[in-house]
Amino acid sequence: MSSAGSSRRRPLLAVALLSCLLLSSCAGAGDPDAPEGESTDGASPSEQSAEEAAAAAEEQRRADAEQAQEAALAGPGQPHQERAAEIVTEYSLAELAGSVLVGEYATTDASAMADLIEELHLGGAIIMGANVPASDGGVDTEELAEELSALRDAGGEREVPPMISVDQEGGLVTRVGAPLTEWPTPMAYGAAASGLGASEQDDPEARGQHDEQDDDPLARSGHRLLATELAELGFTTSFAPNGDVTVGASDPTIGSRSFGSDAASVAALTMESIRGLADGGLAGSVKHFPGHGSVTEDSHQTLPVQSASLEELRTRDWAPFAEAAEAGVPMIMMGHIEVPALEAGVPSSLSAAAYAELRELGHDGVVVTDALNMGAIVQGYGGDQAAVTALEAGADLLLMPADVRGAHIGLVAAVESGELDRSRLEEASERVAALQLWQAELAAGDLAAGPGAQLPEELRSEEAAGDETDPDQAEADGTAGSPAEEAESGSAAETAVQLSESAVTLVAGECEADLGSSGITIVGGSDQDRSRLTQAAEAAGLSVGTGTVVNLVGESSAAGGDVAVALDRPEVLAGADAATQIALYGRTQESFLALAAVLAGAQAPGTLPVEVGELPRGHSAC
């Protein structure tokens, strides 16, 4: 396996700056008409040369420090891989088989799962909603932390700790809720990021420029803060973010779980998000290769078929995964999607061609399957055999087999019979072990990045210089940062507010119109949605019960009302007939506070991250 900090990574901006400095040093500076041996600033050529050399050396040190940080966040390095290989050499066949399995359990009592981790030497466990203990205030975080501790302790004295994982994307896919910070859907990040104008959508050069500028501090800081809260409870891994590029209304599964419909924007936000998770101490996983956002069936229920050509896939669906592979990420998830252009009749999670394509993109980290208990697999391939087939095809980590004990037995039997090469199982186990060793060091602050890591002196001085800015003076002279920039140093609650405020989008209607002056009447949505909007409206000084009819569109129809509000995915507004239409991208209290502000006349700064009817991506009525 090659190192996570391998040469295929793109050079950092600092290296380019260094080149500019060196070129300027060679070319000379100052007034060309000045007498030979003199400079316009009074410094001699030798003094200038020394200053330029010192500046170049400082820039190189900063570039080296930034590169070390990037490598630390990208996944296991050579030391982790070498130690993993040594550890795996000592595994028995039964331990090898267990090390590549992540099991699930059915209740809030983790003791049976802990016993399986110990008995079968499992790679870890995943926490689903049914495993999260509740209290009057939401999640019983104290009890949950105790259960996660029991799972971790089940690893005993083994050097490679069990993976304690969860699906925590924000929005619709949130396993651990309040009192942890509630986050809107991932699409909120896409709406908050700068949208492409209509002319840019047809201009490849403009799209390329936009891609360079589309890194969003909100996505990185939001995911860092999300990861920090999970890590404090004992989680080590979150199977997020989604690198899926949605095609909009015809996508029944991903929808607002995607950052949007533009491949370049999704790629940029995916990288910011997975780096944010690592900043917070968690291993993330970009999902779901070969792209679930452009198929019209749900792999939880059946096997979707991706009919696009390889050229189309490489341009759209695979672009975020290609960027992730090039930059380096710890893990990519393989979905359950048939791609006839790769291998007809076979789910990608069981297809050697699909794994080969992902490796060809440059990914050298762990490839984890999507849950093997999903309809796309169990209906046609059986739980135990699917685990063997997936591993043989190229998977490294097998997530949620229908019967983890049966999968373990199946892997052992497949090696003993010669159906599965032991070397393939060892390769997978080494990648998983390296990932877990890396994450443990990352979380402990033992790497060049991550929580608690000591910044190199070059980057500490840069950060300190930034901290010297007087916020009052910045506000006075107009240099105060945007909400996204301010979120870099804010709390989780503050960042969730800033994200919700930055994302809310006026899809139709008059910008900054006072829609609630005569009060509002709330229809649609769930009981919780209506309660939260009521609280937010009253906090904004709006009366509730009479006046403008606000239709909250989630499970209910988009038709009717004076104002139609899409709570999750904005495409539902294509069926709305209200004069004013708003996309919210979330159902958190912060989302409804942002909505109430817009109803009271505030500007809605977001732009559409997907097409809505005939309205293009990047559209806003403001």
DSSP per-residue string spanning 105-148 = -SSS--HHHHHHHHHHT-SEEEE-GGGS-EETTEE-HHHHHHHH
**How many secondary structure helices (H) and strands (E) does the chain include?**
24, 20
- pLDDT at res. 68: 86
- pLDDT at res. 57: 76
- pLDDT at res. 167: 96
Distance CA 308, CA 267 (A): 19
User: Taking CA 47 as the corner, what is the angle to CA 46 and CA 49, rounded to the nearest 5 degrees?
Assistant: 65
Six token digits for residue 383? 């739980």
The number of residues making up the chain comes to: 622
- How does DSSP assign 8-66, residue by residue? TSPPPHHHHHHHHHHHHHHH--S-TTSPTT--TTS--HHHHHHHHHHHHHHHHHHHHHH
- pLDDT at res. 301: 82
Other CB atoms within a 10 A radius of the CB of residue 31 amount to 10
CA dihedral 404, 407, 413, 416 (to 10 degrees): -90
Distance CA 17, CA 351 (A): 44
Other CB atoms within a 10 A radius of the CB of residue 358 amount to 21
What phi, psi does 445 have (nearest 5°)?
80, 20
Burial class of 530 by CB neighbour count within 10 A (0 to 12, 13 to 18, 19+): middle
Looking up tokens 């490294």 gives 396
Distance CA 362, CA 385 (A): 28
- pLDDT at res. 25: 38
Six token digits for residue 477? 């002279």
Distance CA 167, CA 124 (A): 14
Positive/negative CA dihedral, 449, 452, 458, 462: positive
CA–chain centroid gap for 481, Å, is: 24
- pLDDT at res. 194: 59
Q: Per residue in 309-323, pLDDT tens?
A: 999 999 999 999 999
Distance CA 610, CA 313 (A): 18
Six token digits for residue 389? 């087939």
Distance CA 316, CA 265 (A): 11
Distance CA 595, CA 497 (A): 11
Q: Which residues contact 353 (CB under 8 A, 6 or more apart)?
A: 342, 343
- pLDDT at res. 616: 96
Angle 404-417/422-444 helices, nearest 10 degrees?
Answer: 130
Distance CA 242, CA 257 (A): 7
Low-confidence ranges of the chain (pLDDT < 50): 1-40, 195-214, 462-488
Q: What pTM, to 2 d.p., does this model score?
A: 0.86
Task: Evaluate whether 591 touches 497 at the Cβ level (below 8 Å).
Answer: no
User: H-helix or E-strand containing 426?
Assistant: helix 422-444
